[in-house]
Amino acid sequence: MKLYKCWATIALIVLLLCAGIEYLSPGNQASLLLNLAFWLGLGQGCVALIAVGELAHFQWIQSLKAYLFRIIPLIFVCALLIPLLLLQWNLYPGSKLHSFWFEPDFFIGRNFVAAMLTFLFALRYKAASISEHGPKRTWAVLYLFSFVLSQCLMAYDCVMSLEYPWFSTIYGPYFVLEAIYVGIACAGLICFFVQRKAPSIEFSKAQYGSGWMMFVLSVLWMCLCAFQLTMIWHENLPKEVGFYKLWLRNIHGIEIVYATVGLLFLIPFLALATRNAKQNRYVVACASISIFFGIWLERIFMIGLLVPVDCVAVLVKLLLLLGFTLWTFSACECVK
């Protein structure tokens, strides 16, 4: 109980600091949205990885779940930060429309409720999964449902609406896939540090399983990108083509695209192509770090090239949320 109170206190401090930064930041800028798009996906993706692993009967996930569940407070913090998007409401072109869907209260409310639902379902799922009692599979399914809903709203509402009326149906599945992808990258780093401290057969299997899933998802990620671009160009959809042209015409647009493809596909795919590579904790850790940087860079591509971003505000919020995440892991380790 003391640990939960400590989580709530530090979460409130992070919330107040981020709110202060939003007030002090000059003009309309998307530093908060940029961080939310990354950190909410990380928090939700780690728990989604456990749920998928247990529903699919992956034995190696059992040794990792106690560590991955420690990131649940990050979901709570991100949910609390969502209402602060109202401070930058003018970033959205839809804010000028008299539409029920773009009503500020409904817009923020549905995203907040979806994120908070994932937090509550994650807590119930964690209790059932750790104790191995109760309807564990039921809570896993409910969590995955809320996870998909929350990530789709983040994609369609918070990110895609920045370039209204542009629309892409694949954005929701894209965010869902990337959230699980970054969750697997987190699992790979956990395996690296645990194996370095106390090597064990269980974590060797978890490391191999994480490396295998990273390899598979690197291919799925590339296929999803190729499918989207193929459909756009083949069907000659002028609005979607124009939007991608706008991205690529940016002074750093094409370089970010190449770097993102390299970090999210080429490095994990080539590094983890062999069985021996998946058994090497250094290779798995390097692939995990590549995925973290790739997802972050892609969020910059999606958001930072469309709307103004205060670099100092982005960095401060990044450090705050990173510090909170690392603290949750270390606090759980001390309690353990």
What is the tens place of the pLDDT at every residue in 88-98?
888 887 777 77
Average pLDDT in the chain: 84
- Closest to 213 in 3D by CA, of 148, 266, 278, 262: 278
Q: Are 64 and 206 in contact (CB under 8 A)?
A: yes
What is the Cα–Cα distance from 121 to 131, expressed in whole angstroms? 15
What is the Cα–Cα distance from 105 to 228, expressed in whole angstroms? 32
Instruction: Output the pLDDT for position 237.
Output: 59
Q: What is the pLDDT of residues 114-137, one digit of tens each?
A: 999 999 999 999 999 888 777 888
User: Which residue segment(s) compose the domain that 29 sits in?
Assistant: 2-335
Which residue in the block uniquely carries the two structure tokens 């500020």?
Answer: 104
Q: Which residues of 231-243 are buried (b: 16+ CB within 10 A; e: fewer)?
A: ebeeeeeeebeeb
Residue 27 to residues 31, 93, 307, 308, Cα–Cα distance (Å): 11, 16, 11, 9
Taking residues 2-20, what's their average pLDDT?
Answer: 75
Taking residues 145-149, what's their average pLDDT?
Answer: 95
Q: Are 77 and 322 in contact (CB under 8 A)?
A: no
Count up the domains in the chain and report the number.
1
Question: Band of the pLDDT at 27, cuts 50, 70, 90?
Answer: low
Instruction: Output the pLDDT for position 231.
Output: 63
Name which residue leads in pLDDT, 246 or 290: 290
Amino acid at 54: E
What is the Cα–Cα distance from 301 to 294, expressed in whole angstroms? 10
What is the Cα–Cα distance from 261 to 250, expressed in whole angstroms? 17
pTM value > 0.85: yes
Instruction: Output the pLDDT for position 214.
Output: 93
Question: Band of the pLDDT at 69, cuts 50, 70, 90?
Answer: very high
Name which residue leads in pLDDT, 310 or 184: 184
Question: Band of the pLDDT at 3, cuts 50, 70, 90?
Answer: low
